[in-house]
Amino acid sequence: MIQLRDVSRSYPNSGAALDRVTGEFAEHEFCAITGPSGCGKSTLLHILGGLDSVSSGEVFVNGIGLHAASESQLTAYRRTGVGVVFQFFNLLPTMTVAENVGLPLLLAGAPMARVTARVEELLDLVGLTARRGHFPHQLSGGQMQRTAVARALIHEPKLLLADEPTGNLDSASAGQVMELLQKIASQRRTTLLVVTHSEEVALVATRRIQMRDGKIVPSTTP
Domain ranges of the chain: 28-46+80-220
pLDDT of amino acid 219: 57
| Letter string b/e over residues 169-196, b meaning 16 or more CB atoms within 10 A of that residue's CB | beeebbbbbbebbeebbeeeebbbbbbb
Tens-digit pLDDT profile for residues 199-210: 888 888 889 999
Contact 136, 100 (CB under 8 A): yes
Tens-digit pLDDT profile for residues 16-28: 899 999 999 999 9
The reported pTM is: 0.89
CA distance linking residue 145 with residue 179, whole number of Å:
12
Best CA proximity match to 18, nearest among 47, 50, 61, 60: 47
Tens-digit pLDDT profile for residues 107-144: 989 999 999 999 999 999 999 999 999 999 999 999 99
CA distance linking residue 85 with residue 96, whole number of Å:
18
Mean pLDDT of the region 32-48: 92
Distances (CA, A) of 156 to 104, 148, 207: 12, 14, 23
CA angle 175, 181, 184 (to 5 degrees): 145
pLDDT of amino acid 145: 94
Per CATH, which fold does 28-46+80-220 belong to? Rossmann fold (3.40.50)
DSSP secondary structure letter of residue 126: H
Contact 41, 34 (CB under 8 A): yes
Best CA proximity match to 32, nearest among 159, 207, 181, 169: 207
pLDDT of amino acid 129: 97
